[in-house]
């Protein structure tokens, strides 16, 4: 009787040990999968950020090319219709766009710093040694918090991409208008010079 009871106790203990080991294996798989998903998400995040940085560089190049033109800005804003788009042609607009460019760069930099702090916090959690032994509630809660942060960062990036894309379009419109006006001026001068040439 004692032997049977002892064997039964050992059997229960072995079953519990097996269950705990199984849960640990499951959690280990969950942790690895979560880390893999996070790495994939971070790659997508970096890809989006490179797109934003590329537009920033294009706007910065325009800024450097047109700094002198902005210094000669006049007062007021003239607009004309071009292919059903409203484009601005006066020099004062350059100062306005450059001011927005500075604000956009500061905003983007602040966003990146905030996101980096969040990602550092996420990675610190995912590198903990007790992930396989913490309670299910704590594990699920931490995952939900990280996913919520990821959603917010994605939304921040989407808004930033839209805003900087809009600014880039306006910069392109102003540049197109300037180039068209400059070409028209050159054509007018060429025609005038041609008309003034004496006949032989």
Domain map of the chain by residue range? 41-183
Sorting pLDDT into bands at 50, 70 and 90, what band is 15? Answer: very low
Q: Are 60 and 102 in contact (CB under 8 A)?
A: no
Q: How far apart are CA 29 and CA 22, in angstroms?
A: 11
The strand pairing partners of 88, in sequence order, are 79
CA dihedral 50, 56, 57, 58 (to 10 degrees): 110
Cα of 25 vs its chain's centroid, Å: 36
Three-class DSSP category at 90 = coil
- pLDDT mean across residues, the chain: 77
Please give the model's pTM, rounded to 2 decimal places.
0.67
Q: How far apart are CA 13 and CA 10, in angstroms?
A: 5
Least confident of 48-57, 106-115, 176-185: 176-185
Whose CA is closest to 69, among 186, 171, 187, 166?
171
User: Residue 172 is encoded by which pair of tokens?
Assistant: 């392109």
For the segment 47-84, what is each residue's pLDDT rounded down to a tens digit?
999 999 999 999 888 888 776 655 554 433 444 444 44
């Amino acid at each position: 009787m004692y032997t049977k009871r002892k064997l039964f106790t050992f059997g229960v203990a072995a079953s519990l040990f097996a269950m705990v080991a199984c849960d640990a294996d499951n959690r280990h798989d969950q942790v690895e999968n979560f880390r893999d998903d996070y790495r994939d998400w971070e790659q997508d995040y970096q890809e989006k950020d490179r797109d934003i940085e590329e537009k920033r560089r294009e706007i910065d190049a325009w800024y450097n090319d047109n700094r002198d033109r902005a210094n000669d800005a006049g007062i007021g804003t003239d607009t004309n219709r071009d292919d059903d788009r409203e484009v601005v042609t006066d020099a004062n607009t350059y100062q306005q766009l450059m001011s927005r460019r500075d604000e956009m760069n500061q905003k983007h930099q602040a966003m990146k710093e905030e996101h980096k702090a969040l990602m550092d916090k996420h990675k610190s959690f995912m590198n903990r040694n007790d992930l396989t032994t913490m309670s299910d509630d704590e594990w699920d809660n931490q995952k939900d918090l990280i996913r919520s942060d990821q959603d917010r960062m994605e939304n921040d990036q989407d808004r930033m991409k839209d805003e900087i894309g809009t600014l880039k379009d306006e910069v392109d419109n102003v540049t197109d208008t300037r180039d068209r006006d400059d070409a028209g001026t050159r054509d007018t001068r060429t025609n005038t010079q041609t008309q003034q040439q004496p006949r032989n």
